[in-house]
Structure 1
Amino acid sequence: MLPFLLFLPTLAFGATPSLWPLPQAMKHGDGVMPLGPDVLLCYGEDCEELPNDIQDGWDRAAPLIFSHSVSSSVSTTLTISIDDPSAELNLEADESYILTVSESTIEITSPTQLGYYHALQTLSQLVEFDYDSEAYSIPNTPLTITDSPRFAHRGILVDSARHFEPVPTLHRVIDSLTYAKLNVLHWHLVDTQSFPFDSPSYPDLGKMGAFSKEERYTVGDVEGVVEYARKRGVRVMVEIDTPGHAASWCKGYPEVCPSTDCTQPLNPSTNATFDLIEGLFKDLTGGKKGEGIFPDDIMHLGGDEVDTSCWSSSDDISKWMEDQGMDEDGTYAYFIGRVQEIAHGMGREVVGWEEIWNHFKTDLDPTTIVHVWLPGSSVGPEATKAGYRVIWSRSDLWYLDWLKTSWDSMYEAEPTDGIAEEDQHLVLGGEGCMWGETVDTSDILQTIWPRGAAIAERLWSDKGSTTKAADAEGRYKEFRCLLNRRGIEAAPSMNMIGREAPESPGGCLDQRR
């Protein structure tokens, strides 16, 4: 019988492969399988030609696995078995896989191409390079990993409105997400400071609302980012925050704002506001489920930090509210409901920040997904008890722009804390939020990483195997070094303040601030 171990974080560092995030289960022996860059890909029972996405997945993984140029006579067969190689990206998608390594062959079995992508990432961490012999190998063989994510929604929010993030930067962020098995780019596209998207229906939004003529996305730019992500198994969930965080809209269409002096929240008293929102949403979604430049089933509508005093200070809006028999809070509810209805009419489920729950509780449409973010929030237990789904991003724990939040605090945070066991299935997952006030291309990756890896493991791995940061520290340091070797500017792993540079010469594992 082959010796095996269940891969747990309490094992001595280096005793088994240093994988991040931890797989659900692994058994292994103590052999070594030689490996070379000459890998024969065998797809299906008859070694058929690989579907495009499957071939592309290998073409991306191979340079990560074989990062050194060597000559080798070792030939290996990678057998790939996938039930649905073009599965749709959504919350229900099956991302599981089985990776098996014997003395001479590697096998990946998955229901979808998504699990196959994850298996390749795991394989890329298993392969070792010997600098003395200039040879590749996989230790701890025979080896079998059976793996699947704990949560379906595992993301990073990127904010392109406080500072513009060029398309190549977004591509690099997406690449980095896949290394940690994260599967959602939450794209906070527009905000108070800028509107960097060229809407075909309302072109002055981008023309007037962007920081500059170069800091804008065309429809083709956005389509390219979404397709780039799709090919890598990453969903792109767009956020258009309303009615607050929308002052940039006024520059091109001042009629949708209360006044030139009090620009947000958006004007609820005119159909011009909702006509613009509907036109913009149609540009983004195509008006139907599964269509548009953002075909994802879920759309984030914000709804947070709404200071309604501008409405009362406007004579026209104040009179309109009086005529409708609504106060400020009632008008807020009216706005949220009407915008949700527009999104639902285009086949989208909707997410809103937790203020909409704090204000309206179960008066919200029951399909609403509540995004938990306030420090110390208890909304998760409240909303799930009432049957609402949640995404978890508590700012005191998972906001990446909070530079003094340590990786171990992020790691030991638990999205289901306080939630009854029978309601925990309503926690869709969570996100690390990379708000952009002090982030642009120059520092975004070292602010996301490596602390984002702590969030990634919490969202992927089994709850019981990943409770203590101290048990994960060795693997965490190794993963940061892996990111660096792949050209991702992950900051020193033991930083007291996120994204600070190393303070002195030293190896990757030893760098700290």
Structure 2
Amino acid sequence: MLSAISLGMMARYFVKRKTMAISVGILLSLFVLSLFLPKAKKFLPGLFVMKKHSGGAGPENFDVYPSETKGDEQLRVPWTWECKHMASFRTPGMYCIRELTSSFAEASSFQECSLTCTEGRSFWPLPRNITHLGTTVVEFSPNKVALSVDTDSVSDQDHRVDVVRHYLRTAGKLFLKDVKRYDVRRKLIRKKLPVVVQITLAVNSAIVHLGLGVDESYSLSVSRQGDRVRVKIDAATVYGARHGLETLSQVMDYDPYRQAFIMLDSVQLTDRPSFPYRGLMIDTARTFIPVPTLKSVVDAMSWNKMNVLHLHLTDSQNFPLDLANVEQLADFSAYSATDGVYEVTELSQLVAYAKLRGVKVVPEVDAPGHVGSGWEWSGDAILCNNLLHQGSWTSYCVEPPCGFLNPASKMMFRTLRKVYKTVLETFDHDLIHMGGDEVRFTCWNNTPEISDFMKSIRLNSSFEGFLTLWGDHFQKPAMELVEELNFGKPGVNKTDAILWTNSLTEVKTIRKFLPPEKYIIQVWDHSTGETGAELMKLGYRVIFSNYNSLYLDCGYASWLANKPFWCADYLPWYKLYDFEPKVESGKHKGANLGAEACMWTETTSVNALEAKIWPRLAGLAERLWTNPSRDSFYAWDRVNLQAERLALRGVKGDQLQPKWCLLNPGVCYDSR
């Protein structure tokens, strides 16, 4: 609309030229046109709908053409998607086929077709038992979604019903927030709809502790009766109910053709995970990852039903934990002055944030190796950390700076106790990762203090002697510290410790040092190895992180030499999807807890983190939740939909294929 000042200036200009009558007429015409232009556009779409196109140098070019109206504003889309059986595709079946249409009023959007066509629809991960899926949708508004909580079956002996109700209501709010993100143009209330969606969340347990093996099962039913869509989610725990809401969000979308939200009007399914541990490890030591970024990762994990975020908090180069009872560790850390440290309060907030999204945060304090930074102030607590300028670090450790804790040092154990105390108070008490990665004996073998200590306890300087030094005189007392600090705490029956596979976990020696009832072993050798299977036969619980299948940093350049990285092959999403967890039967059934993808960050910046994780991690998510019998080839269309959904919700992930492939399902995959 023309401003009053502009009108006044034009009027004076025309008055000076004695054309006042003409000027007033022109000004009035412009004024009236400015008032009615929006409505004129609505009633005369053929005049006002323009299509922008590029062409040569100079100003932008536009084509003017007629448009049709669907919903409450003009859209011009020549495409429709029809659900058709394609026998000629490599995988014959029902597909959403894009076709030209001459009547937009009868066209179906890609979103509607994705919800109503194909075997797996738009689910990710795929539910394990789908009884019924309808083929029609109903329009609704997120502003007319009513959530009710049913806890009548929950025993309130521990006064936890209010906690359960709070969790469920929060989960409902998060669900609605996620669904609204489907409308990227934010036109939620432009269309008035009579339909009311009534969601009932029913749980029968007051369990709110997110421990290993917590029941995450649920059932979901959707039915329509006139203008009422009734949704019922039944679950044993709040975590199953949360997963049910996530699945419900995947039978919903925003339809740009209808300019309304749509959802399937008929659904029946039951679901539960195949494995209790579905994890992601992020190395927050080599590269400091701010808590807001970690929260974004947690969000995306929850949208893929992943349930463990393992934080590799400390390593050779950095100790970014600001601990009030031992501040020197952060003060002496390599990055603390410039790159930030974690405050205990913000880590506690991360734990609570993740729990509301069904994700458990597990802390790792790596020891007795990989401790080259932060311990420099501690006197005899650390050994072999002064090799940087001697040109000999490669024989002592796998990467600089070297550093190993001293099992003969009382100062080391006093400091370690303080570290464990704060960590166990900040995170859940029942699970801690104690590291144990890449411990070389060269350092201990070349330290007179260690030699004297070993003589005093009658150990010789053999490989077996150093194993005993590590197992009996470091790992055992370290675990005793953890158990002592947790003793008597409410809700803690025992604390499980996770260790990386190492020389201490070799099949022939592990039982001597590591009781299977206390330790979980994280296996990171090649996937063709038998370490995991052998450990399960010995009664150990196992988490698989085979580097050739689950290390997300593989395929990038080495940071220590001008040569290929030690794990040179990049892992696409389908490599993670086709990972096959080894499952034991009989008395060892359940020993395989699941798997964990690892995002080491020696060559990953905080800005690149999400793109290196997503949407690749979605492949492992479906493997661990559904454990499908078919390989990744059959999941291409759905993983593209999941990648698009993650992007709509704000995940800064990488691209799997051109978006053209998303809009033309079944076409891009090489049939050879």
TM-score by length of 1: 0.89
Q: Distance in 2 between matches of 1:222 and 1:92?
A: 24
Q: Please state how far the C-alpha of 1:509 moved relative to its aligned partner.
A: 6.1
Name which of 41, 44, 49 aligns with 2:150: 44
**Kept after mapping to 2: 8 A contact 1:89/1:233:** yes
Name which of 433, 436, 457 aligns with 2:622: 457
Inter-CA distance 206–34: structure 2 relative to 1 (3 Å threshold)? same
**Kept after mapping to 2: 8 A contact 1:24/1:146:** yes
Q: Distance in 1 between matches of 2:328 and 2:362?
A: 24
**Kept after mapping to 1: 8 A contact 2:216/2:236:** yes
Give the corresponding residue for 1:393.
545
Q: Please state how far the C-alpha of 1:85 moved relative to its aligned partner.
A: 5.7
Give the corresponding residue for 1:83.
204
3-state SS of the aligned residue for 1:30? coil
Q: Please state how far the C-alpha of 1:296 moved relative to its aligned partner.
A: 4.2
- 1:468-492 Cα offsets, whole Å, 9 max, x none, are 1111111111111111111111211
Q: Distance in 1 between matches of 2:663 and 2:363?
A: 36
Give the corresponding residue for 1:222.
347
Q: CA RMSD in A?
A: 2.4
Confirm whether residue 30 of structure 1 aligns to residue 135 of structure 2: yes
Inter-CA distance 275–11: structure 2 relative to 1 (3 Å threshold)? farther
One-letter amino acid of the structure 1 residue matched with residue 347 of structure 2: V
What percentage of residue pairs aligned between the two structures are identical?
30
1:414-425 pair list within 5 angstroms: 414-416=580-582, 419-420=584-585, 422-425=587-590
Confirm whether residue 278 of structure 1 aligns to residue 430 of structure 2: no
Name which of 160, 164, 178 aligns with 1:64: 178
Q: Distance in 2 between matches of 1:509 and 1:392?
A: 35
Name which of 432, 437, 444 aligns with 1:304: 437
One-letter amino acid of the structure 1 residue matched with residue 174 of structure 2: R
Name which of 533, 552, 562 aligns with 1:381: 533
**Kept after mapping to 1: 8 A contact 2:385/2:403:** no
Q: Please state how far the C-alpha of 1:32 moved relative to its aligned partner.
A: 2.5
Name which of 350, 361, 364 aligns with 2:497: 350
One-letter amino acid of the structure 1 residue matched with residue 506 of structure 2: N
Greater RCO, 1 or 2 (C-alpha within 8 Å, sep 6+): 1
1:211-360 pair list within 5 angstroms: 211-213=335-337, 214-261=339-386, 263-285=402-424, 292-326=425-459, 327-334=465-472, 335-347=474-486, 348-355=495-502, 356-358=504-506, 360=509
Q: Distance in 1 between matches of 2:280 and 2:93?
A: 29
3-state SS of the aligned residue for 2:250? helix
Give the corresponding residue for 2:50.
none
3-state SS of the aligned residue for 1:374? coil
**Kept after mapping to 1: 8 A contact 2:331/2:374:** no
Greater Cα shift, 440-449 or 372-381? 372-381
Name which of 180, 196, 202 aligns with 2:320: 196
3-state SS of the aligned residue for 2:318? coil
Confirm whether residue 169 of structure 1 aligns to residue 268 of structure 2: no
Name which of 432, 451, 465 aligns with 2:597: 432
Q: Distance in 2 between matches of 1:238 and 1:222?
A: 10
Give the corresponding residue for 2:236.
111
3-state SS of the aligned residue for 1:129? strand
Q: Distance in 1 between matches of 2:207 and 2:169?
A: 12
- 1:402-436 Cα offsets, whole Å, 9 max, x none, are 1412222211111116x456524111111111111
Q: Please state how far the C-alpha of 1:79 moved relative to its aligned partner.
A: 1.5
Q: Distance in 2 between matches of 1:148 and 1:11?
A: 26
Inter-CA distance 485–85: structure 2 relative to 1 (3 Å threshold)? farther
1:463-474 pair list within 5 angstroms: 463=627, 465-474=628-637
Greater Cα shift, 340-349 or 53-62? 340-349
Q: Distance in 2 between matches of 1:506 and 1:25?
A: 31
Q: Distance in 1 between matches of 2:549 and 2:582?
A: 14
Confirm whether residue 442 of structure 1 aligns to residue 607 of structure 2: yes
Q: Distance in 2 between matches of 1:449 and 1:260?
A: 36
Q: Please state how far the C-alpha of 1:43 moved relative to its aligned partner.
A: 1.9
**Kept after mapping to 1: 8 A contact 2:168/2:201:** no
Q: Distance in 2 between matches of 1:401 and 1:421?
A: 36
**Kept after mapping to 1: 8 A contact 2:384/2:404:** no
For structure 2, which runs of at least 5 residues remain unmatched after alignment? 1-90, 96-116, 153-160, 388-401, 460-464, 487-494, 556-569
Count of equivalent residues: 484
One-letter amino acid of the structure 2 residue matched with residue 362 of structure 1: R
1:134-153 pair list within 5 angstroms: 134-139=259-264, 141-153=265-277
Confirm whether residue 101 of structure 1 aligns to residue 222 of structure 2: yes
- 1:123-158 Cα offsets, whole Å, 9 max, x none, are 11110322122122223x421120111111111001
Q: Please state how far the C-alpha of 1:11 moved relative to its aligned partner.
A: 5.9
**Kept after mapping to 2: 8 A contact 1:162/1:194:** yes
Q: Please state how far the C-alpha of 1:452 moved relative to its aligned partner.
A: 0.4
Confirm whether residue 411 of structure 1 aligns to residue 571 of structure 2: no
- 1:159-206 Cα offsets, whole Å, 9 max, x none, are 110000001111111111001000111011111110000112211001
One-letter amino acid of the structure 2 residue matched with residue 119 of structure 1: G
Inter-CA distance 100–11: structure 2 relative to 1 (3 Å threshold)? farther
Q: Please state how far the C-alpha of 1:508 moved relative to its aligned partner.
A: 6.0
For structure 1, which runs of at least 5 residues remain unmatched after alignment? 1-8, 286-291, 495-501
Inter-CA distance 342–421: structure 2 relative to 1 (3 Å threshold)? same
3-state SS of the aligned residue for 1:146? strand
